[in-house]
């Protein structure tokens, strides 16, 4: 089992920034690729970004490329999502997820093994 706890969400004005954190515990953190997803009310869960277990590779959704940066600190068992130039349409619950690493970063939520409880991000216009 891997337990994931997100933090760092909140209310921010359009154009502002937030940094989300996800602390992992349980099994070996470095065995897992990590991802961030988001879900707005009435919408399906949407891929945001993923990072490989060694942090050597990253992948982003097109709408977030250039604004969001995913990183991880394997010594601290933590993954981050730095979000800049936020827009009202970025408003959603953001989830951290872990996927046992098979060598390919996935954008499909059904391929992730463990999920956090989510943190709310609200961007006002």
Tens-of-pLDDT digits for all 125 residues of the chain?
899 999 999 999 999 999 999 999 987 999 999 999 999 999 999 999 999 999 999 999 999 999 999 999 999 999 999 999 999 999 999 999 999 998 899 999 999 999 999 999 999 99
| Structure letter (DSSP) for residue 88 | G
Using CA atoms, how far apart are residues 68 and 6, in angstroms rounded to an integer?
Answer: 16
pLDDT recorded at residue 102? 85
Using CA atoms, how far apart are residues 94 and 48, in angstroms rounded to an integer?
Answer: 9
pLDDT recorded at residue 47? 98
pLDDT recorded at residue 51? 98
pLDDT recorded at residue 26? 81
**Strand ranges for the chain from DSSP E:** 2-7, 10-13, 18-26, 32-39, 46-51, 58-60, 68-73, 78-83, 92-100, 114-115, 119-124
pLDDT recorded at residue 103? 83
């Amino acid at each position: 089992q891997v337990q994931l706890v997100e933090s760092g969400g909140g209310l921010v004005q359009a154009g502002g920034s937030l940094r989300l954190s996800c602390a992992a515990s349980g099994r070996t953190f470095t065995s897992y690729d990590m991802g961030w997803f988001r879900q707005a009310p009435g919408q399906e869960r949407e891929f945001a970004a993923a990072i490989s277990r060694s942090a050597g590779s990253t992948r982003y959704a097109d709408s977030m490329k250039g604004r969001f940066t995913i990183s991880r600190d394997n010594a601290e068992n933590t993954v981050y999502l730095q979000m800049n130039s936020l827009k009202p349409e970025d408003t959603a619950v953001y989830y951290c997820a872990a996927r046992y690493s098979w060598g390919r970063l996935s954008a499909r939520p059904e391929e992730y093994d463990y999920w956090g409880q989510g943190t709310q991000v609200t961007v006002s216009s």
